[in-house]
């Protein structure tokens, strides 16, 4: 993305350029500012060919140009389709006397970029069906963002696995996991998860052993940090129920016993989602779980292991927004 700076810009325009560059960077663009003062014929009707040359030489997908006099009343947004060599232009009104002029202009410019990229994508549909040429990644990303804005992400479902391990003697287990998401806001998601029917690690000492099975269900909330182009970090906090069963085995004269325990479970997680094609995504997270009461495994009178005091988990899921 290239931003063309006019010659001798007033302070309000300088602030606008800085804010516009920041907004474009935050949504995934690599930006650079090109000084128009060293090129003749930038303003007026001669600007189109110069801007197209800027796009070609800089290898960018779009150009934002400030046009007009010392106090311009509009900004032109040019989107260049490098596959076809065509361009789409939009003009944004600019009111330099307004207190929020820089912020308003930056937001409008990004909205016009999205709609222009969508126009290019629609026009290229027939060409793509007849050719293997692909649109630039920036165009693809903005088209997806525009389509998501028209059909917001509200309900999602994830499936995957969780690797669970206690810090006190119970080895790792792998549990299938299902998670349901309800996005109340773009940054706030209510989540419910179930995990169980997985592997059963064995705790063994001498001639005695015990198999441990765990399953849990939690309900909580997730805060999603502002989105990058593909990656979005999040933190989550949930509470629910942990079911732990222990089946003991021992050689005579000792006797193995079976124990079953329901516990209150608190779960905290930190992770990130990676957007894939369409409305699919991958999610990976690290969790810590604490249970009360927790399970202690005893051989005769000695405690040899405990579970969920705490448990550490690593989850990997694939999901889709419905």
Residue after which a domain boundary falls, among 86, 115, 149: 149
Looking at residue 128, its pLDDT comes to 47
Q: Which domain holds residue 65?
A: 2-149
144/174 same-domain check:
no
pLDDT for the residue numbered 199? 93
What is the distance between the alpha carbons of residues 123 and 145, in angstroms, rounded to a whole number? Answer: 18
Q: Is the pTM of this model over 0.75?
A: no
Torsion of CA 273, 322, 24, 39, to 10 degrees: 130
| Final residue before a domain boundary, out of 83, 117, 149 | 149
Spell out, as residue ranges, where the chain has pLDDT lower than 70.
7, 9-10, 12, 27-28, 36-48, 51, 61-62, 65-90, 92, 94, 96-97, 99, 109, 112-152, 227-229, 254
In whole angstroms, how far apart are CA 4 and each of 35, 51, 60, 73, 301? 6, 9, 12, 16, 78
**Cα atoms in the Cβ-side hemisphere of radius 13 Å centred on 309:** 14
178 lies in the same domain as 297 = yes
* CATH code of residue 294: 2.40.160.20
The number of domains in the chain is 2
Residue reference for tokens 């197209």: 52
Residues 141 and 166 in one domain: no
Whether residue 183 is found in the same domain as residue 233: yes
Q: Is the sign of the CA dihedral 32, 38, 117, 20 positive or negative?
A: positive
> Are residues 210 and 310 both part of a single domain?
yes
Among residues 149, 167, 196, the one where a domain terminates is 149
pLDDT value at position 276? 83
- Which pLDDT value is given to residue 39? 46
> DSSP states of 196-223 as a string?
-S----EEEETTEEEEEEEEEEEEEEEE
CATH of the domain at 138: 3.40.50
């Amino acid at each position: 993305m290239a931003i063309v700076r006019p010659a001798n810009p007033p302070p309000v325009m300088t602030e606008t350029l800085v804010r516009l560059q920041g907004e474009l960077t935050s949504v995934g663009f690599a930006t650079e500012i090109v000084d128009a003062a060293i090129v003749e014929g930038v303003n007026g009707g001669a600007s189109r060919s110069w801007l197209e040359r800027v796009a070609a030489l800089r290898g960018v997908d779009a150009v934002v140009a400030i046009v007009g006099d010392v106090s311009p009343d509009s900004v032109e947004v040019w989107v260049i389709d490098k596959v076809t060599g065509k361009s789409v232009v939009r003009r944004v009104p600019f009111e330099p006397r307004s207190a929020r002029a820089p912020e308003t202009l930056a937001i409008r410019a990004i909205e016009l970029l999205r709609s222009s990229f969508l126009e290019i994508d629609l026009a290229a549909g027939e060409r793509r069906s007849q050719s293997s040429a692909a649109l630039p990644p920036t165009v693809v990303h903005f088209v997806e963002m525009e389509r998501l804005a028209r059909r917001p992400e509200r309900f999602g479902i994830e499936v995957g696995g969780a690797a669970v391990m206690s810090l006190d003697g119970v080895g790792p287990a792998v549990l299938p996991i299902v998670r349901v998401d309800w996005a109340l806001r773009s940054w706030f998601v209510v989540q419910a998860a179930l995990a169980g029917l997985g592997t059963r690690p064995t705790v063994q000492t001498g001639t005695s052993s015990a198999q441990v099975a765990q399953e849990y269900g939690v309900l909580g909330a997730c805060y999603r940090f502002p989105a990058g182009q593909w990656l979005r970090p999040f933190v989550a906090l949930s509470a629910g129920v942990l079911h732990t069963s222990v089946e003991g085995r021992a050689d005579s004269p000792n006797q193995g016993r079976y124990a079953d325990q329901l516990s209150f479970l608190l779960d905290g997680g930190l992770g990130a989602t990676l957007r894939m094609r369409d409305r699919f995504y991958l999610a990976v997270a690290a969790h810590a779980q604490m249970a009360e009461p927790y399970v202690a495994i005893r051989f005769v009178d000695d405690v040899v292991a405990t579970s969920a005091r705490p448990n550490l988990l690593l989850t990997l899921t694939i999901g889709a927004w419905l």
